[in-house]
Structure 1
């Protein structure tokens, strides 16, 4: 049986270029809907080691929320280079750019 961390890593690795997921969406897909903060910790501690596409993860409102200006700018530029539209408030249209692995699995 996989741990929550292993499941979350697998979900994160599935996010394709040009798509985003929310912290809570990843937590729910990995089997623990209330573990959005745990997803944040996983990203912080394991992104480099597992080469995670951390830049494809935003908050529940579809907004880039990194406090560090350099990291926020990197995330914005990375998403835009993949075709994700980010407005002046670092907001992304979830209806248009959200990735849903459950729907993808059904295809």
Structure 2
């Protein structure tokens, strides 16, 4: 049986190295579902129910904004986890986004 879309997203997000981030759209595109960035977002909001830990804090929108922070408790946790990995966040936006960006299509 083929893994569900959510499971495929979780597997891919687990590959994002510490100190790096990816976007909902880049993950969707690498899974062959280019127009499904929103579905990746839904998957990330359910990452807490995955069997193995999913570093959902490493997934942001295409501009580097922490749009998923409200799925963390407290919302500031997403920024704290990124900063622990050396990623600077200011006003809910990743600084030097291109430097930290991990593109699954280039890395896999």
1:58-78 Cα deviation digits (max 9, x unpaired): 111101123468543100010
Tell me by how many angstroms 1:10 deviates.
1.9
What number of residue pairs does the alignment pair up?
Answer: 104
Conserved 8 A contact 2:47-2:56:
no
1:16-69 Cα deviation digits (max 9, x unpaired): 110000111111111101111111111222334231000001111101123468
Residues 1:45 and 2:46 aligned together:
yes
Match of 1:63?
65
* Structure 1 unaligned regions, length at least 5: none
RMSD, aligned CA: 2.0
Match of 2:86?
83
TM-score, with length taken from structure 2: 0.82
* Structure 2 unaligned regions, length at least 5: none
TM-score, with length taken from structure 1: 0.82
- Please state whether the residue corresponding to 2:57 is helix, strand or coil: helix
